[in-house]
Amino acid sequence: MRSLRIRLFQKTDFVFADSLRALVGWNQTKNDWMRFLAHQPDGCFIAEWDGQPVGTATTTIYEDKVAWIGMVLVHPNAQRRGIGRALLEHCIAFLKPRVACIKLDATPLGKALYDTLGFRDEWTLKRWGTDHAELPATPMQYRVRRWQEGDHEAIQVLDADAFGVLRWPMMHRLTWQPSRALIHLTPKQRVSAFGVVRKGARAHYLGPVVANSIAAAGPLIKSLVLALPNERIFWDIPDANTGAVELAQRLGFQPQRPLIRMFLGENKWPGDPQRIFALAGPEIG
Ligand SMILES: CC(C)(COP(=O)(O)OP(=O)(O)OC[C@H]1O[C@@H](n2cnc3c(N)ncnc32)[C@H](O)[C@@H]1OP(=O)(O)O)[C@@H](O)C(=O)NCCC(=O)NCCS
C-alpha cells in the first residue's frame, strides 16, 4: 500500500532538498536551506512517499503576525499525486494558530494549487535578470557604504515600515552567507536605503533592497551591481514599483518570469511595494 507522510526537515535532509532544488533549476543554495532551518526549525517539512523523500516546504514566521511559505517542491516523478497539496495543508495547519496572515510568492504552476486552498492575489511581481549589467563608465560618487553592526536599528525601522512587519532575524542571517550588504545615507547621515546581494546557485541574487525613494535606492543598487561585472544577476521587483522597474531596464535587465504575491487570512500588515525595490526572495518575502 502506497503511503504519504509529512515530517520535520532534519539536517540529514539537506542533500535531498538541495538536489531537488537543483533539479527544478531554482537559485537557492545550501546556505538558504540552513537559514530556513535556523529561523524555523519546527516549520520546515519533508514529504515522504513509501518512505522516500519526494518533496519539501518551508515556513518563516515574522513577529508572530505574518508567515511565508516557501520552497514548495515535489520531485517530477512524484507530481500529481496530491503531495504538493498535502505539504501546503501541513504548512497551513502549522501556521494558522501562530499568525493572522500567511503569504507566499507563487509561480504560475504553484498558483493553480494555492487558488484551491483559498489564497487570494495581492500584487504581481517579476523576476528580472541580466548576464551583463550596463553601468556608467565614469566613477560614481554615492553616499553608500558597507552595512555595519551600528546600522541595525535604523535598518530594522526602515524595513519594518516598508515590509509591514519586522523580519530582522531573517535579514540579519542573510548577511551571514557570502554577500555584500550596503546602506545609503542622507546628507544628515540617516539610513535611507539598505540592500544585499548574495550568491545563488545559478546567479547572484539582488535583494532585499528597501528604501524610501528611488533617489536613495538607485545609487545603492548601482553600487551593488557595480561589483558584479559580466555576472548573471536575478532581481525580483514588484510591478507597482515603477522606479525600480525603470532602473532595471536602464541597467540592461530583462524580464524572466512572472510571480504573484498571495495571502491567506487577514492581510493586516500589507507593507508598501513602492518601498520594496527588491524582494528578499520569493521564498521569504
Ligand atoms: C507545484 C507543485 C509543487 C505541485 O505539486 P504536486 O504534488 O504535483 O501537486 P498535487 O498533486 O498536490 O496537485 C494539486 C493541484 O495542483 C495543480 N497542479 C499540480 N500540477 C499541475 C500542473 N502540472 N499543471 C496544472 N496544475 C497543476 C492542480 O490544481 C492540482 O489539482 P488536481 O489534484 O485537481 O489535479 C509541483 O508541480 C512542483 O514542484 N513544481 C515545480 C516547483 C514549483 O513551481 N513550485 C511552486 C512554487 S510557488
User: Which cell numbers in the block locate residue 157?
Assistant: 525601522
pLDDT above 80 (res 254): yes
- Nine-digit cell at 243? 522606479
Position 43 scores a pLDDT of 98
- Contact assessment for residue 246 and residue 235, using Cβ atoms and an 8 Å cutoff: no
Amino acid 142: pLDDT: 76
- Spatial neighbors of 74 by CB under 8 A, at least 6 apart, are 47, 54, 55, 83, 84, 87
**CATH second-level architecture of 4-125?**
3-Layer(aba) Sandwich (3.40)
d(CA 81, CA 48): 12
Q: Note the pLDDT tens digit of each residue in 212-233.
A: 999 999 999 999 998 898 899 9
- Spell 57-96 as b/e; 16+ CB within 10 A means b: bbbbbbeeebbbbbbbbbbeebeebebbebbbebbbebbe
Ligand 1: centre distance to CA 85 (Å):
8
Task: Decide: 23 in ligand 1 pocket, CB within 6 A.
Answer: no
pLDDT value at 27 more than 90: yes
Measured from the CB, is residue 110 less than 6 Å from ligand 1?
yes
If one residue of 21, 48, 80 were mutated to test the ligand 1 pocket, choosing by the most ligand atoms within 8 A of its CB, it would be 80
Query: 6 in ligand 1 pocket by Cβ < 6 Å?
Result: no
Collapsing DSSP to helix, strand or coil, 257 comes out as strand
**What is the per-residue pLDDT across 155-180, written as a single tens digit (0 to 9) for each?**
999 999 999 999 999 988 887 777 89
Tens of pLDDT, residue by residue over 105-124, are 999 888 999 999 999 999 99
Written in H, E and C, the secondary structure of 177-212 is: CCEEEEEEECCCCCEEEEEEEEECCCCEEEEEEEEC
Q: How far apart are CA 6 and CA 103, in angstroms?
A: 21
Q: Any idea where the domains of the chain sit in the sequence?
A: 4-125, 128-257+265-278
Tell me, in angstroms, the distance from the centre of ligand 1 to residue 233's CA.
Answer: 28
Nearest to 196 by CA among 213, 173, 169, 164: 173
Q: How many CB atoms lie within 10 A of CB 138?
A: 6
For 83, the 3-state DSSP assignment is helix
Question: How large a percentage of the chain has pLDDT more than 70?
Answer: 98
Distance 111 CA to ligand 1 centre (A): 9
CATH among 3.40.630.90, 3.40.309.10, 3.30.1330.50, 3.30.300.30 for 128-257+265-278: 3.40.630.90
Q: Which residues are CB-contacts of 215 (< 8 A; sequence separation ≥ 6)?
A: none
Residue 81 Cβ contacting ligand 1 at under 6 Å? yes
The kind and range of the H/E element at 284 are none
Q: Give dist(CA 181, CA 241) in Å, integer.
A: 21
pLDDT of residue 138: 64
pLDDT one-digit tens code per residue, 51-95: 999 999 999 999 999 999 999 999 999 999 999 999 999 999 999
Is residue 141 scored above 80 in pLDDT? no
Q: Is 83 in the pocket of ligand 1 (CB under 6 A)?
A: yes
99 CB less than 6 Å from ligand 1? no
Q: Report whether residue 112 contacts ligand 1, using a CB cutoff of 6 Å.
A: yes
Q: What is the pTM of this model?
A: 0.94
Specify which residues 126 forms β-bridges with. 237, 258
- Residue 109 Cα, ligand 1 centroid: separation in angstroms? 6
Strand partners, 209: 195, 278
- Closest residue by Cα to residue 211 from 202, 223, 201: 223
Query: Residue 2 pLDDT more than 80?
Result: no
Q: Do domains 4-125 and 128-257+265-278 have the same CATH topology?
A: yes
Tell me, using a 6 A CB cutoff, whether residue 158 lines ligand 1. Answer: no
Ligand 1 centroid to residue 113 C-alpha, Å: 6
Percent of residues, the chain, with pLDDT higher than 90: 87
Q: Check if the beta carbon of residue 231 is closer than 8 Å to that of residue 198.
A: no
